Structure 1
């Protein structure tokens, strides 16, 4: 009884993503499946963060290390942080295979325990929409940046429904039984996802304007919303069914870059 009572929403989120670790990289939008997409990611990162040049970078909720490796490609000195040991095991195996000297650590992205003012840049992909307490998280990230450091958030509203989502769901029903790769099938996982979603801060969907407002409240300057993710989405669409590709390009997806004052 006591152990169950102490099992928090954060624990549920950690365990949910740990259980998805084995098949996480099978999904387009998680792992990178083409050089075209890799180049598009490099361009997005460089556009906002500039050259790596040995600068210290923190990849929050790094998962299997996809963004960490992109940052490493660009000559950042990278720390990847995640609170799922199953995800980190995948990330470390990739780094060993590729000979990449990336530091991976098991921590909570909302309470990192990292040194204050120790990073030149921080990057997150698809983390903010899952946060339990974004105000606390943004204050933490602000403290980790050096003066003049930059935070890059790549995220989206994956909750709000639109016509393309309905079309994709209809197509999947009509083609049920045909072979397709998916990492989130199963009624049990779907129920867990919905239960978690109902209790997080952005349960109604993460919108760029709200995130930018919270970043400004945390003290970060000039939050700039970048909607130009088309090159990434076009590269990903080549690996997707046409209804899923259509859903992706019609979703509220964005990058936000903000700077810590000097």
Structure 2
């Protein structure tokens, strides 16, 4: 980071943070998919809200290493993955070559995609909304990029919400002097927390707050779906005990919103 450079913004910091995580991103449960049960869970969720792809155009925002992009490709969408981290895109392209998929990848900002207006039938993203500096503007951008009748599917959660497991983790750390196992090193965790403190949803991100901003952007017929147990159970089975408990008690959700036809 270059804190002396006044042109180095929170957006640059977010991009650089995820670029540094690109090489090891797919090693973590909850990022890449490590079981057929989890893969089927995600595909079930996608079909539930978006239906079969049937060649429809999908834009996967902040695609990272293309986990969701591949899920969308699996169910028949014609997928474009967008990310502004070149390191993440390099991983995504390598994965697509290895799997023999025809996913298109482009460099861009999820808050200002620069994609043509009304050019996509579906927009997806996972764990993106909490990183947005200006969600109202981002949602207006997504609305404009969707064709009439198009849908956005947001996969995220209220990670700042206190749960009894988080309380247990704090007790464990205080009693033993050992923090629960983490997929991030302490220095990266500190940077993650610093970024989190300065974005729009700096504390909690309840689904209801996201829904309100989507409505303001013009979306309608908005559904909040918390029926994700099959996905979380498949993930938890591959996590250390306390992380697994945390995953099963977190307020994670899918939000599907429609652009009027």
Deviations 1:228-252 (A, max 9, x none): 0111001111101221111112111
1:183 corresponds to: 183
Alignment-derived partner of residue 89 in structure 1: 90
Q: Distance in 2 between matches of 1:177 and 1:5?
A: 35
Q: Distance in 2 between matches of 1:151 and 1:177?
A: 37
Matched with 1:19 is 20
SS where residue 5 of structure 2 aligns? helix
Segment drifting more, 58-67 vs 20-29: 20-29
TM-score by length of 2: 0.94
Instruction: Note if contact 2:155-2:255 (Cα within 8 Å) is conserved in structure 1.
Output: yes
Return 5+ residue gaps in structure 1 as ranges: none
Q: What residue is the counterpart of 1:143 in the other structure?
A: 144
1:171 Cα offset (Å): 4.8
Q: CA deviation at 1:169?
A: 4.8
Query: If the length of structure 1 is used for normalisation, what is the TM-score?
Result: 0.94
Bigger mean CA deviation after superposition, 240-249 or 205-214: 240-249
Matching residue of 1:235: 234
CA RMSD, Structure 1 to Structure 2 (Å): 1.9
Contact 2:169/2:179, CA 8 A, preserved across alignment = no
- Between the two proteins, the alignment pairs up a number of residues equal to 259
Deviating 4+ runs (over 4 angstroms): 169-178
Q: Where do 1:106-255 residues align within 5 Å?
A: 106-171=107-172, 174=176, 176=178, 182-186=182-186, 188-255=187-254
Please list every run of 5 or more consecutive structure 2 residues that lacks an aligned counterpart in the other structure. Answer: none
Structure 1 residues 215 and 7: CA distance shift in structure 2, 3 A: same
Displacement after TM superposition at 1:161 (Å):
2.4
